[in-house]
Structure 1
Amino acid sequence: MNRELTSFHKWLILLNVSVSIFMATLDGSIVNVALPVVSRELAADIGSVQWVVTSYLLTISVLLLVWGKISDIYGRKKIFAFGFIIFTAGSLMCGLSADLKMLVLSRVVQAIGASAMMALSQGIVAEVFPANERGKALGITGATVAIGSLVGPSLGGVLTHAFNWQSIFLINIPIGILGAVLTFTTIPEMHRTAETKKFDFKGSVMLVTAILLLFISLLFLQERILPLKIFIPLLLLGVALLFIFISYEKNLENPLIRLELFKIKVFSLGLSSAFLSFVAMSASLIFIPFYLQYVLGVDTRAAGLLISFYPAASAIVAPISGRLSDKYSYRPLTVLGLSINTAVLFAVAALNESSSFLRIAVLMALLGAGGAIFQSPNNSSVMGAVPREQLGIAGGINALFRNLGMVSGTALSVLIFTFTSNMDINNFSGQNGAFDAVRFLNGFRVVIIFAAVMCMLGALISLTRSVGAVSGSREKA
């Protein structure tokens, strides 16, 4: 950056970034509770209405790296402001949609803006805050993610009940306008002249296609739309295209992704452990609501309250964990966080038909705390390990690994549950009378143990980072 920022200015920028993260996270969860109403009012079946959620996730995932690279070439301020503007325009389009096709198209527009904001948020924070404050700042953004996830379902329900489903999108408009104004007035230009102004279109098309194939195959497997004989070739095609992309990138002077980034041990191992942690969390959290409602027989309100201990604890612990990583080191915290989650998930696997609400609430809070202890220091280490001129693409890669971990965890857990319990998660509704709790718990326990093993592997990877120097990083810069 061209000039030293005052403390007030830095925290104002963090507020702006947090607003973008809150909006993007909120809109990932706020829609779910309104889907039955949308289905009824737009005369569409539930399967079709699911594309309101799926199109948003897919669009964000395929564009994260593209926006990261574009921001490294042309400057993060312009792209971040563009994200706010497009997200706000997409929200308006969603609120004015009169049919499902228009709503899905509007969600794609909204996701284009959200992906730009998500790809750049960590890069902006890492650029603005020095190493001794970066963990604390990223901890606050982590808390914002947790708050967005916590508020989304309840706020969506309140708005839909009090007004209509369109209000869950229209509420974004004043917030988006505020965010765009703050971006133009507070964020300095972060353009680095070291990058050649040449964008890798061919590589981008290959990468977007590969990611799209991977995500679609996993999402369709999760929804039981694709049989294995189609899923496996589709997945292999996506993987093959990724290898072709890597081979192509090696020969370019200005590639979409500089593969040397992955030679930085702190960066690559941090991404690996983050991926495994999100696989574990998404695999476990998708089945806990079913356990609460179908095994324990609690209503949706009580189930939501018990699960809310997870993001609530995460929101409290994330800034503290980030601050501790600034003061001491990220290494012991990342190992501690994933070790806590490993132990807690084994405890969750032991839940049964008579487990108390207090026990469940404590386990949810510990899961959220363990995840926050890991995430803030890990994000700080990943973003601190790359050169400043590549912070945009690094942030995009970090966000992509997070999304891929969540989708993979959900798809794999559904597959594991189906094979081990011989039950279909999509056919639980209305089966209270004939619900087989024993079969469910058998599959549930295998899924949770799988999640615990993923966390354990992530902890072991993080442990390897606790020895050796941070070569090639900016930690000591």
Structure 2
Amino acid sequence: MGENTTVEEPEQGPWSSNPTTRSHQRVVLINTTIGALMASLDGSILTVSLPTIARQMHTGVALMLWIMMGYTVMITALLLPFGRLADLHGRVRMYGYGFVIFTGSSALCGFAPSGHLLLFGRLIQGIGAALLWSNSTAIVTDAFPKSGRGFALGINQVAALTGSVGGLLLGGVITAALGWRWIFFVNLPIGTFGALWTFLALKEIATVDHGERFDWRGMALFMAGIVSMLLGLTEIVQGHGGRAPWMIGGGAAVLAVFAWAEGETASPLIDLQLFKNRLFAFGNLSLLLNALARGALMFLMVFAFQGFDGDTPLQAGLRMLPLSFSIIIVGPIAGRLSDRMGSRELASGGLLVTAVALLILAKSGLAQYSVIALGLALSGIGNGLFNSPNTSAVMGAVPPDRRGVAASTRTLLFNTGQLFSMSISFAILAGVMGSGQLSGFLAGVDASVAASGHAAFARGLTEAFTISAILSVVAAGLSALRGKTQPRTMEAKQTG
């Protein structure tokens, strides 16, 4: 089949030979939504409480940044290995282990007596979250046929995105009412329930191939390369850029070796053949650029609200509500529409709406909240239009025995783009303001001191958001190249 030839995915293809009952589909949807919400909440819930933690534990800026970013670093490094392990040993089992590890490490974080032990707990939390993220999308894709898959994935995406944004508001509420340690303690009953429900109620639908060997060499190379690059990016955020080029360059070299080695092994960690699928390739490229364009948006606006407007953590979370509400409303609608009309128009249009939103924020100058609220709302609408249609299309384009690694690849690209976005955005701000003043904001400098740098911060935001808008337009162009209809999966090509 040529590259430009596209066909509709059959309603019941070779991978749909074990259709699940509606009751089990409901169990899958609710359970994975809980997992997505819990894992995404902990990616942002700590952000508004970091100054309080830094003061109480007397942590420096570097340790504070690692407490914030270490969670995502671990998720990014482990997604692909865990996705492949799930393909070999069962997605439901690995997903359940994710609940167990996440819940136990939440208790460790809550009781941590020092910043270093809190960082250790956050790293372990990232391991549990990686197990949840690398399997939830694949489990949903296995359980739902094409006619309902977009809606189900849309619900998951709304939960994840709402958790990311709602974590700011919830973190402010919990910190004000109970103290920051309860940010972690609230995970204990939810995680325990999720683990028990997973092992008792979820069924393994996909065929598990116990005959293939796991690519341990690939795992070691991949983790070494990605962690080295992420450490280098973190050095830039902290203002220690001298070692960053060596760390980033060394990590890139190791990843090049990884890519070569994957082509030489019989059971690769990442199946590079997946990227020969036009829909999978362009859907993931547009996802990466979307994450790169808007990954730092939430953090930048929270710092703006607290650092310059003098908001409390709770007030800053409330002012982000236009973003979360628009995502909640648009996400499921876009998922339903994608089940009927395909992904290209919705996903590409959503990226263009995001570009408009970022330009509005770039021109706002942080002067009028009504203009900022409009930009935040449009950003949520654009993200809602893009995420669930794009996810449904990308996951539907691969055979079932590769959906674990496909889901991990998708989330890996998103997290990598988000980390690059944060690093580049904060590097722009440091260039405009100076790393010393920027570090002061991260450590919780009071509003009277922060206000002196308002103009510089606004200029930095204008530069960052303008670049992000351009990236969104490029992402829209790549998204449009996926083709008009969803291609048959490679498995269908081989068996059809």
What CA distance in whole angstroms lies between the structure 2 residues aligned with 1:37 and 1:291?
Answer: 17
- Please give the TM-score of this superposition, normalised by the length of structure 2: 0.89
Q: CA-atom RMSD, angstroms?
A: 2.4
Which amino acid in structure 2 is aligned with residue 319 of structure 1? P
Unaligned 5+ segments in structure 1 are: none
Tell me which residue corresponds to 1:114: 129
Tell me which residue corresponds to 2:97: 82
- Please give the TM-score of this superposition, normalised by the length of structure 1: 0.92
Change (3 A) 1:422 1:96: closer
| Structure-to-structure mapping, 1:4-19, within 5 angstroms | 4-19=19-34
1:313 to 326, 335, 356: 326
Change (3 A) 1:406 1:161: same
2:39 to 11, 16, 24: 24
What CA distance in whole angstroms lies between the structure 2 residues aligned with 1:41 and 1:442?
Answer: 32
Change (3 A) 1:267 1:171: same
Q: Does the aligned pair in 1 maintain the 2:87–2:405 contact within 8 Å?
A: yes
Provide Cα deviations, 1:235-291, integer angstroms capped at 9, x if missing partner: 111111111011111111111111101111111111110111111112444333454
Change (3 A) 1:466 1:296: farther
Which shows bigger deviation, 193-202 or 443-452?
193-202
Q: Does the aligned pair in 1 maintain the 2:63–2:116 contact within 8 Å?
A: no
Tell me which residue corresponds to 1:435: 452
Q: Secondary structure at the match of 2:364?
A: coil
Which amino acid in structure 2 is aligned with residue 371 of structure 1? N
1:403 aligns with 2:415: yes
1:466 to 454, 465, 483: 483
1:179 aligns with 2:191: no
1:454 aligns with 2:471: yes
Which amino acid in structure 2 is aligned with residue 466 of structure 1? G
Unaligned 5+ segments in structure 2 are: 1-15
2:429 to 409, 412, 417: 417
What fraction of aligned residue pairs are identical, expressed as a percent? 31
1:359 aligns with 2:371: yes
* Residue 301 (structure 1) shift: 4.6
Q: Does the aligned pair in 2 maintain the 1:274–1:401 contact within 8 Å?
A: yes
| Structure-to-structure mapping, 1:318-337, within 5 angstroms | 318-337=331-350
1:350 aligns with 2:382: no
* Residue 200 (structure 1) shift: 0.7
Q: Does the aligned pair in 1 maintain the 2:166–2:324 contact within 8 Å?
A: no
Change (3 A) 1:157 1:305: closer
Tell me which residue corresponds to 2:249: 236
Change (3 A) 1:201 1:135: same
1:371 to 363, 373, 383: 383
Q: Secondary structure at the match of 1:197?
A: coil
Change (3 A) 1:234 1:373: same
What CA distance in whole angstroms lies between the structure 2 residues aligned with 1:198 and 1:348?
Answer: 49
| Structure-to-structure mapping, 1:43-442, within 5 angstroms | 43-194=58-209, 196-227=211-242, 230-292=243-305, 301-352=314-365, 354-355=367-368, 357-419=369-431, 424-428=437-441, 429-430=445-446, 432=448, 435-442=452-459
What CA distance in whole angstroms lies between the structure 2 residues aligned with 1:353 and 1:381?
Answer: 37
Which amino acid in structure 2 is aligned with residue 392 of structure 1? G
Which amino acid in structure 2 is aligned with residue 315 of structure 1? I
Change (3 A) 1:313 1:335: same
Provide Cα deviations, 1:357-406, integer angstroms capped at 9, x if missing partner: 22221221111011110011011111111111011111111111010010
* Residue 26 (structure 1) shift: 1.1
